[in-house]
Structure 1
């Protein structure tokens, strides 16, 4: 609980919290955290509750405070409430206890605090139900001593018309069904907070004439609110006014003068057309949010907001002009005009806004910037993204504090300003602009870290010898007419990330010794052919000299054919992807150890085999060969990769054999391959053993997974299920079941996954997902807690994916039969379990073995 919140409540109950809390903190009985949270030891809390229980051990209705649901329910149901009750804090699952509470409150004449947590508010389904079940429109009685009312999701339409609000300090009724709090004027001299956030039925606010001390008025998300009482403008102590997302609010007030107001939020009042005049100086208002409104202009008196720091006008699509008086806001630091599509100009003397630190003009109709804007010496961020009509910048830029300049998408901007003096710019984004060259004075951006020129198709020459020593990230992808690459990179000794999309490297260079990321964009390759006629068939030799390179991706380079053995010179390479390079047929010999390469993606390539030297990739953890349909051979040397945990061979239809000693694998995917009868060194559990799980099924935690035909859309739902049986016939004797359970322990089975493609097969259905219909069904059975957890070796996952294709049906049968012949030799069980396989069950087995002792 926040200290301020607790203090406010205690003050409302006529206590003196500041002195008392200081004493308690001094005695270490309570603590106040750095973020203002008040904490109390559990024992101290329990001691306080026990003192209250002793007030009346047998009858809770005679105690001063009630907090447990059982006690409150007892008092309400037996109607034993008395005037002794001063505080109620209760959690109700539903709101149907209101009528009982209404009766009880009549006797609680000294009640000062009412805090009701309602988890679910179930509205009436019809008008008749509203009349019958929901007879109450308000509470008939509330104690005149009530100071704090907290009731989220309250079903009341209003509070009691007879409610004496004289002592009321705080009303918190968020997400309620209240339509109005009360009618007429009430004595509200102590009221400080009204929070009705999300009360979507609220239509109007009460009269605030007597609420002289109101500090916070929160009505955000009251979507039916169409009127705010005019007396709101006289609330001189109001600090926070939140009317955001009040979609029916068309007018606010003709004038405002709230001298204590610090935050005014009218954001997304989508039909609010006019902002009121500011009749007097409001120096404390620091945040004004008007984004998403329909206002067409700001009042000239905006300059009376002398303390304004943040002004957000984002997506005010009707706003056409800013008053010149706005430049008098010396305290303004953040101004957001993004999305004001009708705004054509920034004020001429905008340079006078000396406090401005961030200016956003994205997606406006601004055509040029006034010269004075370049004199904003404290401006740190300037964004003009997607300003399609912007064609020029000031001739020179003097913004010494500028750190970020974003001009991306300004498609008519064909010239960049001169930089007459050294600036501290860190990020410059000129993506998709029409500039043809950069000025040589760009060298004055001495601290530039990121420069993006993506899709600057008219850019021909980058100024040479500018020695941008701080530059770390450079993006020139899509700059199809750039001529002097890589010469202009000379001196960029800290460059770590380079993004481009065609082979423009023509010579070796030591310039790139620190480069750690090099990326070809998939979407750019077609544009290479279109714009330059160059087909990517191999990497330029300079790539192999990038000793600091960590990431190299060439996804879906359709013409890419080969790597050379020089790839082993990339000692820092940790990720290499050739996914989708359909012309790539031969993976090179690895002449030296590459210990840092952890992930290698060769999926959807045309390679026929892996070289025996693959064993030199000693750090390899993941090898992806998915849908390499020409792959016929994997060398035994792959078993020497002690770090290899994940091997994906799914869809390698010509691959019929695997090395047997893949003892360190954790995940092996062999669905859609030609592999038959594969049995790894580790213990392997197949469909033939499923029936024998029946006696241990209650010990197995099940996870149900519905697997659509599209393997990339897998929905997994947590739940519990027993093993599915096709019939109730006895398969094993009790003796056989007992011996098999011991065998399972010895094999350290951790996970068993089962799939079914039988239409109509009955498997546990999760209510959140509905019927699974004819989708393949997968069950994952975890045996944690059933097995010995001291094994040192992680389980191997052998995956045969679900499919109705005949080849995969045979593959599953082959796996099942292979194990049965070696471990069971019982002809009758073979027939039953193969028959079960033919009914559509697939196997996903996860098995543990031991790394040590030669197992």
Structure 2
């Protein structure tokens, strides 16, 4: 039976089960004093008061280590991570003058190292029990060196559910990632060198969240050659995506699609209407967007703010309770759209709104529809609040 280790603040730092005081952790990393008692390390680098040179074998004695967390956080109460402030301006740093050859614990569940200074992970790392891997703002170009690649393909991270590689230097997603059958969240935002994404993404059978915001060299979203049963959320904002493929209809569980500030997009695929669960669409500030295809019937929120070239909207769903198309000066009409039907309304949709402020060229028919819709919501809101009394 495994003995439970209780944290004791009076013990020497290397004999505590969890370390979170920066002085204690720096002492352990510099002087190679960690022991089997240590099960967790959590170091906020913003609280360091000096540079630290990590000992070559600093972690090798901590073979019961389950949580290894080195992070950048300015605001401990809100747990906010400010990459723009911290990546180049963090006052004190951890240095690995000889690399990191320590043997990390095979019991490791959580590994986070913001601003990780090396170009790949150490060779001697056991990932069998790892659930989350976070390497935000690192100098990483590949996950592993060539020598361990073959082994990784067979046994890598089968329990991993979250992989955060945001703000890293990778120019392609390592192929072995497509073997992560348990991966739920893949975060690649602000990977400024990332140029493409493989169609093998459909092999991530458990994937629910995909974030590609700020990937300024990413011009193409991959074909999804097989249905992805669990993918619910895609964010492509501030990328150079030029188009979405017709095969996007294979994202059968997609609920939220965010492609804001994608200035290269002119059209969206007609197959978008086949996404029966798609509820929320954010296409703001896509300055070259000219036309929208028919949207899925489930879509009740559509954001189109600052789309200067958009001329018309057609076949909006009858359940589109939130339509924001402010400052679309070329928009002339919304055809085949009526105010949402009363019998479809429920408490989740009361308070929906249509905002077309700054759309100076709208025809009179569209203006009348908007006014009618606002009246309906005002009446129903009053009835709802009256019933609560």
TM normalised by structure 1 equals 0.37
Q: Offset at 1:319?
A: 1.1
Match of residue 218, structure 1, among 69, 74, 79: 69
Q: How does 1:99-118 map to 2 (within 5 A)?
A: 113-115=8-10
Q: How does 1:403-482 map to 2 (within 5 A)?
A: 403-419=279-295, 423-433=297-307, 434-439=309-314, 441-442=315-316, 445-464=317-336, 466-469=338-341, 472-482=352-362
Q: Offset at 1:259?
A: 1.2
What is the alpha-carbon distance in structure 2 between the residues aligned to residue 477 and residue 493 of structure 1? Answer: 14
Residue matched to 1:715:
none
Q: Name which structure has the greater RCO, CA cutoff 8 Å, separation 6+.
A: 2
Residue matched to 2:22:
174
Q: How does 1:59-78 map to 2 (within 5 A)?
A: none
**Is the contact made by 2:30 and 2:52 (CA closer than 8 Å) also made in structure 1?**
no
Q: Offset at 1:491?
A: 5.6
What is the alpha-carbon distance in structure 2 between the residues aligned to residue 457 and residue 368 of structure 1? Answer: 23
Q: Offset at 1:460?
A: 1.2
Q: How does 1:144-183 map to 2 (within 5 A)?
A: 146=11, 149=13, 169-174=17-22, 178=26, 181-183=29-31
Q: How does 1:270-309 map to 2 (within 5 A)?
A: 271-276=139-144, 278-279=152-153, 280-309=155-184
What is the alpha-carbon distance in structure 2 between the residues aligned to residue 296 and residue 324 of structure 1? Answer: 16
**Is the contact made by 1:407 and 1:430 (CA closer than 8 Å) also made in structure 2?**
yes
What is the alpha-carbon distance in structure 2 between the residues aligned to residue 255 and residue 366 of structure 1? Answer: 38
Provide, for residues 534-567 of structure 1, a one-character-per-residue CA deviation record: whole Å limited to 9, x for no partner.
Answer: xxxxxxxxxxxxxx8xxxxxxxxxxxxxxxxxxx
SS of the aligned residue for 1:181 comes to helix
Q: Offset at 1:254?
A: 5.1
Residue matched to 2:386:
none
What is the alpha-carbon distance in structure 1 between the residues aligned to residue 27 and residue 196 of structure 2? Answer: 38
SS of the aligned residue for 2:373 comes to coil
TM normalised by structure 2 equals 0.77
Provide, for residues 759-797 of structure 1, a one-character-per-residue CA deviation record: whole Å limited to 9, x for no partner.
Answer: xxxxxxxxxxxxxxxxxxxxxxxxxxxxxxxxxxxxxxx
SS of the aligned residue for 1:462 comes to strand
Q: Offset at 1:249?
A: 4.3
**Is the contact made by 2:119 and 2:141 (CA closer than 8 Å) also made in structure 1?**
yes
Provide, for residues 23-75 of structure 1, a one-character-per-residue CA deviation record: whole Å limited to 9, x for no partner.
Answer: xxxxxxxxxxxxxxxxxxxxxxxxxxxxxxxxxxxxxxxxxxxxxxxxxxxxx
Q: Offset at 1:309?
A: 0.9
What is the alpha-carbon distance in structure 2 between the residues aligned to residue 325 and residue 191 of structure 1? Answer: 39
SS of the aligned residue for 2:41 comes to strand
**Is the contact made by 1:193 and 1:217 (CA closer than 8 Å) also made in structure 2?**
yes
Residue matched to 2:82:
none
Unaligned runs of 5+ in 1: 1-7, 14-111, 116-145, 150-164, 497-512, 517-547, 549-855
What is the alpha-carbon distance in structure 1 between the residues aligned to residue 168 and residue 356 of structure 2? Answer: 39
Provide, for residues 191-214 of structure 1, a one-character-per-residue CA deviation record: whole Å limited to 9, x for no partner.
Answer: 312233323523325443343321
SS of the aligned residue for 2:354 comes to strand
**Is the contact made by 1:354 and 1:376 (CA closer than 8 Å) also made in structure 2?**
yes
Q: How does 1:290-439 map to 2 (within 5 A)?
A: 290-349=165-224, 352-396=227-271, 397-419=273-295, 423-433=297-307, 434-439=309-314
Cα 1:331–1:286 change in 2 (3 A) is: same
Q: Offset at 1:364?
A: 0.6
Q: Offset at 1:272?
A: 2.9
**Is the contact made by 2:102 and 2:124 (CA closer than 8 Å) also made in structure 1?**
no
Residue matched to 1:84:
none
Residue matched to 1:621:
none
What is the alpha-carbon distance in structure 2 between the residues aligned to residue 464 and residue 338 of structure 1? Answer: 33
Cα 1:465–1:196 change in 2 (3 A) is: closer
Cα 1:494–1:357 change in 2 (3 A) is: farther
SS of the aligned residue for 1:285 comes to coil
Cα 1:333–1:438 change in 2 (3 A) is: same
Residue matched to 2:100:
229
Q: Offset at 1:514?
A: 3.4
Q: Offset at 1:493?
A: 6.5
Residue matched to 1:261:
130
What is the alpha-carbon distance in structure 2 between the residues aligned to residue 339 and residue 175 of structure 1? Answer: 36
**In terms of Rg, which structure is larger?**
1
Q: Offset at 1:11?
A: 2.7
Residue matched to 1:719:
none
SS of the aligned residue for 2:52 comes to coil
SS of the aligned residue for 1:428 comes to strand
What is the alpha-carbon distance in structure 2 between the residues aligned to residue 168 and residue 418 of structure 1? Answer: 60
Q: Offset at 1:350?
A: 6.2
